[in-house]
Amino acid sequence: MVESSIYLNGKLIGFHSKPKGLVENIRTKRRSGEMPAELNVAYYEDLDEVYINTDAGRARRPVVIVENGKPKLTPKHISDLKSGKMSWDELIQQGVVEFLDAEEEENAFIAIDEQSLTPEHTHMEAHPSLILGVVTSVSPFPNHNSAPRITMASAMLKQALGVYQSNFNVRMDTQSHIMHYTQKPISVTNHAKIIGVTRRPAGQNLVVAIMPYYGYNMEDAIILNKASIERGVGQTTFFRTYSAEERRYPGGQKDRFEYPNAEIQGFRGEDAYKFLGEDGIIVPEVVVKGGDVIIGKTSPPRFLEEVGELSMIEEKRRENSVTLRRGEHGTIDRVMLTEATTGNKLVKVKVRSQSVPEVGDKFATRHGQKGVVGMIVPQHDMPFTADGVVPDIIMNPHAVPSRMTVGHVLEIIGGKAASMTGGDVNATAFEPVTYEHMKEVLKEYGFRPSGKEVMYNGVTGERMEAEIFIGVTYYQKLKHLVANKIHARSRGPVQILTRQPTEGRAREGGLRFGEMERDTLIGHGASMLLLERLLKESDAVVELVCGKCGTIAVDDQIRKKQYCPVCESTDVWPVEMSYAFKLLLNEMKALNIEPKIVLEDKA
């Protein structure tokens, strides 16, 4: 008879004739405490192999053990746990709960809740919402939302600005945001409380009205109340850390933090260094703007020239200061002097700037309902309810039906009810709907159970014909701020090699007119426009070309002579071409190909 192989931590350790009995035995021993609780065992029937795993690094999760269709967890256990008579570890020791790893899960038949238990089940989930991951379990009412929106909500939750670490003040992260006046969400899941996101939240509970506003909230845009912003809605602080190191170079030379001397190469002028202290480093609480020097640093010359004994040519040191990024501004928050791992002197300067919400900043709820600020409206132009409540945010109604985010609607109603009672809403997935309860609360406080209210146009004062759905939702400000993205260029820096415009916002670059864009202009036959895009606004140069031999000619400005370096002819002509083409000619020469340009009269 073929015996099944037994693997311990991936290694074959032996054979067994009754694998099922063996596995069963191991499991009962583990539950009784005879074997370690960290051990997992799985039997693969198709392969006839038993895997026993005891090593580290397996993701495991707790489930309630079920025997004969009855969970081992009794109401007594729960009450004991609540009163503190019993601990979680004891539950494991008593064999009520066990941890399964991915392999043992293959042998388990896990019921989602107590109602669906059958005698075949081996385990039961502690709560059906455990099918969700850590991040998703934070989003409220996910069982009422469509799956794609939950995915988006989970992705955006990670981009929300809040208080990411309570020691943010002393940390020197390269980039960080801190939200002022964060609030814990009114609609909150049990998981969120356990994980701790309610203790360090990232967002605020805002009053939302779902209605259009003069077309300024089309395409998922949102309207912000200016007075709300002034009260602290969406206010964040942005920190950026700049750093510099005194690097050592071969030959015993090194960088120096100092107040740069006027002698050095690339000196920016006395005025540029006005914020620096004697040590060449800026001091805290100085207000700086883009281009200002933060750390004064000089470097040794790039190329060491051989210095003759008598000659006094001493190569000047180079200016190599760190400046604030272009387009940014702020206050110096913190300066740190320390030593790098290399042993060199290291300076870090943290700059702080407040970002007030502005048109273009991204906001989102925890239902994947994201949008960009379309307009900031003064409070007196915002719609108001009969009670005089003015919303903080106006969201467009078109955002809801096609996305099927019912959870969002529930959160608005629940938030409204709970903000009256002062409690919170249990928004855990698969918990029984509390809508009936919310309705009762709303009625009690004189609201309509539907969440709709009569509202008045803030501009004209007229009563609006439609009743507006209004309530309280948790809004997150996401890290995509326009201030850090806005970019335009008319003239600017070019690359040294090709003389074409640089790429990217950080380098003040141009926007690429790519191959497909090129195709569209060809398709339109817009020849001259294409020439302008690709040549005139990019790397156009006028080069001299020899009319006799077709090589690029020389313009000797000292001798006031234009001639061909190959055939020495003075029959040279100016030709407009792209610098990239001139470079191509040069590169071809390096390939041992001699390109020649044949000139012809313009027809």
Partner 1 sequence: MSDSLEKYVGKLPMAIMKKLREETKDLKAAEARKVADNVLEQFLKNQAEPGEAVGIIAAQSIGEPGTQMTMRTFHYAGVAELAVPQGLPRLIEIVDLRREPKMPIMEIHLQDDIKSDEDKVISFAENMENVDMKELASIEEDFVNKRIIVVFNEKSLNEHGISLDDAVKKTEKEVRRKAKNKEGNQMMFEPGFSTLRSLRRFAARLNKIKLCGIDGIHKAVVLPEEDGSGWFIKTEGTNLKAVLEREGVLPSSVQSNNIREIEEVLGIEAARNAIIREAKMVLDDQGLKVNPRHVMLVADVMTYNGKTQSIGRQGVSGAKTSVFARAAFEETVKHLHNASIQGTKDELKGITENIIVGQPIPVGTGLVKLGMK
Q: Which residues bind partner 1 (CB under 8 A)?
A: 518-520, 522-528, 530-531, 534-535, 540, 576-578, 581, 584, 588, 591-594, 598, 603
Handedness of CA 80, 82, 87, 91 (dihedral sign): positive
Least spacing, CB of residue 156 vs partner 1, in Å = 24
At residue 377, the 3 state secondary structure works out as strand
Query: Please, which residue, 312 or 593, has the CB nearer to partner 1?
Result: 593
Catalytic option among 16, 348, 439, 548: 348
Query: Please, which residue, 250 or 523, has the CB nearer to partner 1?
Result: 523
Query: Please, which residue, 301 or 550, has the CB nearer to partner 1?
Result: 550
Query: Please, which residue, 44 or 581, has the CB nearer to partner 1?
Result: 581
Query: Please, which residue, 505 or 533, has the CB nearer to partner 1?
Result: 533
Contact 15, 3 (CB under 8 A): yes
The residues facing 256 across adjacent strands are: 298
As a dihedral over the C-alpha atoms of residue 31, residue 34, residue 37, residue 43, rounded to 10 degrees, the angle is -70
Phi-psi label, residue 330: left if phi above 0, alpha if psi -120 to 50, beta otherwise = left
HSE of 186 in the Cβ direction (CA atoms, 13 Å)? 26
At residue 557, the 3 state secondary structure works out as coil
The DSSP annotation for 194-221 comes to HHTTTTS---EEEEEEES--TTTT-TT-
480 is an active site residue? yes
At residue 274, the 3 state secondary structure works out as coil
Catalytic option among 254, 329, 480, 582: 480
The bridge status of strand 370-377 relative to strand 222-225 is parallel
At residue 276, the 3 state secondary structure works out as strand
Closest CA to 383 of 392, 375, 374: 392
**CA–CA distance, 120 with 122 (Å, rounded to integer):** 6
Contact 180, 236 (CB under 8 A): yes
Least spacing, CB of residue 147 vs partner 1, in Å = 18
Token readout for 377 is 């409206």
Query: Please, which residue, 132 or 546, has the CB nearer to partner 1?
Result: 546
Query: Please, which residue, 448 or 596, has the CB nearer to partner 1?
Result: 596
Query: Please, which residue, 227 or 549, has the CB nearer to partner 1?
Result: 549
Q: Which residue has the tokens 């036959």?
A: 525
Number of Cβ within a 10 Å radius of residue 203? 26
Angle ∠(270,484,211) on CA atoms, nearest 5: 145
Least spacing, CB of residue 547 vs partner 1, in Å = 16
Least spacing, CB of residue 553 vs partner 1, in Å = 17
**CA–CA distance, 115 with 198 (Å, rounded to integer):** 31
Least spacing, CB of residue 585 vs partner 1, in Å = 10
Query: Where does 96-158 show beta strands of DSSP type E?
Result: 97-101, 110-111, 123-124
Closest CA to 102 of 146, 40, 184, 144: 40
Least spacing, CB of residue 452 vs partner 1, in Å = 40
Closest CA to 390 of 448, 457, 341: 457
Least spacing, CB of residue 546 vs partner 1, in Å = 17
Q: How far is the first Cα of the chain from the last one, in angstroms, to the nearest whole number? A: 95
At residue 155, the 3 state secondary structure works out as helix
Least spacing, CB of residue 539 vs partner 1, in Å = 9
Least spacing, CB of residue 175 vs partner 1, in Å = 35
Query: Please, which residue, 463 or 536, has the CB nearer to partner 1?
Result: 536
Contact 334, 283 (CB under 8 A): no
Closest CA to 354 of 325, 327, 331: 331
443 is an active site residue? no
Token readout for 183 is 């609030």
Query: Please, which residue, 505 or 548, has the CB nearer to partner 1?
Result: 548
Q: Which residue has the tokens 């740190």?
A: 336
Beta-carbon contacts of residue 155 (< 8 Å; ≥ 6 apart): none
Least spacing, CB of residue 596 vs partner 1, in Å = 9
Least spacing, CB of residue 597 vs partner 1, in Å = 9
HSE of 375 in the Cβ direction (CA atoms, 13 Å)? 16
400 to each of 15, 75, 208, 411, how far by Cα in Å? 60, 41, 13, 13
Query: Please, which residue, 530 or 567, has the CB nearer to partner 1?
Result: 530
**CA–CA distance, 193 with 201 (Å, rounded to integer):** 10
State the catalytic residues. 348, 480
